[in-house]
Structure 1
Amino acid sequence: DSTSIKVCHNLRIPRHKSLSGLASRGKGTMGWFYGFKLHLIVNHKGGIVAAKITPANVHDTQPVSGMVVNSMDKLYADKGYISKA
């Protein structure tokens, strides 16, 4: 699952100014938040193979195509990353 990176509390979204052009409101496993999502691909030893940070309103399936390379034999993910492609 993607990891949420919260920028500020939901009550302070209208007053938040430092990342207002980059951060967005999105929904994660723990509910709504304002910030970014961190997507990681790790190998069988726990080493990071690929990483990407997206605004919170980007669906989990979108950054995967830019992170996956043809040399990866198998890819395991949670339900949020499943798509027809």
Structure 2
Amino acid sequence: MSSINALFCHVDDFCQIFEPQWRKQLITQGLKTRQRSKSLCLSEIMTILVMFHQNNYRNFKHYYLEQVCRHFRCRIS
């Protein structure tokens, strides 16, 4: 479990630096875009994706249903 926390901390540190710089680089075409609030932050999504690639699951749906929803749901809420 501590490796998940350490992974999240590293990903979150990266996102704190990357996301503002990335938003500055986006090209807009004069249209207003909404910034809706998400249920998961970018760091949480990236951590789930990194963990998926570290495991031996064939597809993301199976990994998400078996690991994330079953084991991490109580910790996220």
Structure 2 length-normalised TM: 0.26
Q: Which protein, 1 or 2, shows the higher relative CO under an 8 Å CA cutoff with sep ≥ 6?
A: 2
Q: Which of the pair has more CA radius of gyration?
A: 2
Q: Which has the higher strand share?
A: 1
